[in-house]
Amino acid sequence: MKIFKEFPTKLPEFKYLNDIESPKDLKLLEEGQLVELADELREFLLHSVSKTGGHFGAGLGTIELTIAMHYVLDMPFDKIVWDTGHQAYPHKILTGRREKMHLMRKKDGIHAFPSITESEYDAMSVGHSSTSISASLGMNEANVHLSTKRNIFSVIGDGAMTAGIAFEGMMHAAHLDNNLNIILNDNDMSISKNTGGLSDYLAKVWASKSYKKLKSSGKKVLKNLPGGLHISRNLKDGLKHAVMPGNLFEDLGLHYIGPIDGHDIPLLIKTLRRMVEKKEPYLLHIITKKGAGFEPAENERIKYHAISKIENTPAVKQAKFQDIFGDWLCYKASLDNKLIGITPAMKEGSGMVDFEKQYPDRFYDVAIAEQHSVTFGAGLSLGGTKPVVAIYSSFLQRAYDQFIHDVCLENLDVTFALDRAGVVGEDGPTHSGNFDLSFMRCVPNIVVATPSDENEMWGLLNTCYTHNGPAAIRYPRGSGIGAAIKDKNDAFNMGKANKIRNGEKVCILNFGVLMDRVTECAEANNFGLVDMRFVKPLDEQLLLELSNNYEAFVTLEDHSIVGGAGSAVSEFFAAHMIFKPILHLGLEDKFPAHGSRNEVLEMNGLDVVTLGKKIIGFANSI
């Protein structure tokens, strides 16, 4: 494997890669040429991601696996489901999208994750973790019903394997006992460092003397076994248990192979060929290195899980909302020893690195287990502590039942910090947090807050944390307007809005971080402007007062219009027989495209110019 010490600034004339537009072209190469192809693919990936940004650490680790799979399988007839999709950049490059990689994550460009709308080689649109085994099993059973002889492979990382749905899929696969193939890509790292029993289990495999012996002599063992996988059950079991006593996956009912070197292309090809001959569920355990072939990423795997595009002139750094949350968490923990911080494997993304360092005994990373994180928080609350669950908006969707049944129904004192709410940007619709207001505000007992800037966020965090019951505060990815924190101990009256300015005819009711986009319009046209702060409870007293002073209203939110904050206002007015024209401004009733956050907002008419035109046009029509 060729090792790169820095991102390539320009690409050479490749010997093989430029001629590969599909896996059929790949199959024209001799096996001995594939190692050099892997070096070329690694160089191309490093160059392209340095221009676009994106996830690439996991992809560097799966280059050899990707080449081997496309070499052995009959794509796109056979199917590969890449779990989450962080590993799939090499797959995109080898399936006709090499010349489009410079447009990845950009408006009108290719997706950051596999997408069935983008390529026939993408078996499933993914973005959230741990779904591949269940989906692959469904595809495999469809083949059984339709008598289709295609091979289905699920490629799942060791981090994604920590989620409950992965184990549900494996247990069902063992019960059905058909030819599903699972590849566990074990690189000892998800986004944050893996935690939990499975991580410890796999770590023991890595460290075991048996594995080290297998790594040095495993190729000979596998190559020299009579009949390959067609060996006797007793001999096979004996060899496996010599390496992995009490094998977890065998106990679940899967046929286990490994661990093998995931960067050894000939060994991968031989093993894959034997797997497709079988008609039983197999799990191949491969050991890879995240960031393989790029020295900085091998040394700092968390830092290089994903990168932003490399700019010639570095942008001025401004505190992100996640940083504000992290600072608040540490400050509040210094005042309240009952505060507990919880994250489902998103410590870095949620700004909790310093909190873990300062309060390790009060920090819990529960791995990729969103459902558990919420119910774990419920248990902590029942035990007398004050849990704060830091979770991405789109990931809270995975724990909706626990949110309702285990926290809100019991009216427990759990605070939810919802990062990446609203438009996320380049990661696209799988990560966009444009549904949380609608699915939260219909649940009794919950408080839902929407800060308009950094100072408001700090104050609302204080308010939600102090509230004795479930409360959620949502904030977007990235930076705000740079508002300074005025008073770290400041808190607001529950459910009370902040009147920014009085006006005439039209009043703008703002929910969240888009308020700065309509401030100038309100001032220039003498419209009223209110920062509502809370979606639930609404400031009903103020809304009744405003209904007597204004002819019409505009609601603004970084969220789906359907079922969002504006809908809450309309419902309130309707319930009180208040009939006023209302213009709802927010995200359209469709999944947001990918692009920069500002581009996606503009596509939804939420840029400064379009917002001004819409509001003025609405006012003139009354």
Backbone angles phi, psi at 527, to 5 degrees: -95, 150
Query: Is 505 one of the catalytic residues?
Result: no
How far, in Å, CA of 68 to CA of 48, rounded? 22
How far, in Å, CA of 54 to CA of 64, rounded? 20
- Active-site residue (options: 79, 105, 274, 290): 290
Query: Is 10 one of the catalytic residues?
Result: no
Query: If you search the block for the tokens 């190729």, which residue do you land on?
Result: 219
Q: Residue 363 half-sphere exposure, CB side, CA atoms within 13 Å?
A: 20
Residue 274 tokens read as 């034997």
- Which helix H or strand E contains 285, and what residues bound it? strand 282-287
Residues 6+ apart with CB under 8 A from 32: none
Q: ω into residue 226 within 30 of 0, thus cis?
A: no
Report strand pairing: 255-261 vs 282-287.
parallel
- Residues 463, 494: contact at Cβ < 8 Å? yes
| Residue from 439, 382, 410 nearest 565 by CA | 439
Helices (H), ranges, 501-596? 519-524, 540-547, 565-575
| Residue from 605, 615, 537 nearest 581 by CA | 615
Backbone angles phi, psi at 334, to 5 degrees: -70, -20
Given CA atoms 93, 97, 99, 104 in this order, what sign does their dihedral have?
A: negative
Query: Is 370 one of the catalytic residues?
Result: yes
Residue 313 CB: number of other CB atoms within 10 A? Answer: 5
- Residues 156, 284: contact at Cβ < 8 Å? no
How far, in Å, CA of 42 to CA of 29, rounded? 18
- Active-site residue (options: 40, 64, 356, 370): 370
Tell me the sheet residues that pair with 528: 507
How far, in Å, CA of 457 to CA of 461, rounded? 6
Tell me the sheet residues that pair with 260: 286
* DSSP structure class, residue 317: P
How far, in Å, CA of 533 to CA of 450, rounded? 5
How far, in Å, CA of 444 to CA of 243, rounded? 52
How far, in Å, CA of 403 to CA of 573, rounded? 28
- Active-site residue (options: 398, 441, 517, 533): 398
Q: Interior CA angle at 214 toward 59 and 271, to 5°?
A: 55
Residues assigned a catalytic role: 290, 370, 398
